[in-house]
Amino acid sequence: MSAECSSYLNADKVLVSGFSCPRAGGDARAVFCCGFQDVKYCCDDPHSFFPYEHSYMWWLSVGALVGLSIAAVVLFAFIITVCVLCYLFISTKPRSKLDTGLSLQMAGKTC
């Protein structure tokens, strides 16, 4: 069993010619072509193949940043809402004490 790795441009934009796996002088078990579009190598695990460039990781990071930004905005809106509701609750409380209807008189004085 063998695999063919097609030619590719590496990170320095230099053309690397195609090769077959396993390579001469390499591991005889490395019969699969693995790696990225800009780095290819022979390996022994058929599930190590990534047909994407390294830039796909950037998009994962952008997605994570967008998700975290949305979560931060929702949290900020929740905190602002709680603060506004607390302010309204405190500001609408009655400030005067209830009148019991009893008048206070000093002891010992008659009117």
Per-residue pLDDT of the chain (111 residues; tens, 9 = 90+): 678 888 998 888 899 999 988 888 888 888 888 887 888 888 887 766 555 555 555 566 777 888 899 999 999 999 999 999 999 988 887 766 666 666 767 766 655
Reading the block at residue 59, the tokens are: 């998009």
Residue 49: the pLDDT is: 57
Residue 56: the pLDDT is: 54
Closest CA to 1 of 40, 25, 30: 30
Count of other CB atoms within 10 angstroms of residue 51: 8
User: Which residue, chain included where needed, has tokens 């022994």?
Assistant: 44
Helices and strands counted in the chain (H then E) = 1, 6
Residue 78: the pLDDT is: 98
Residue 39's φ and ψ, nearest 5 degrees, are -150, 115
Count of other CB atoms within 10 angstroms of residue 32: 20
What is the four-CA torsion angle of 103, 107, 109, 111, rounded to 10 degrees? Answer: 20
Residue 80: the pLDDT is: 97
Residue 30: the pLDDT is: 86
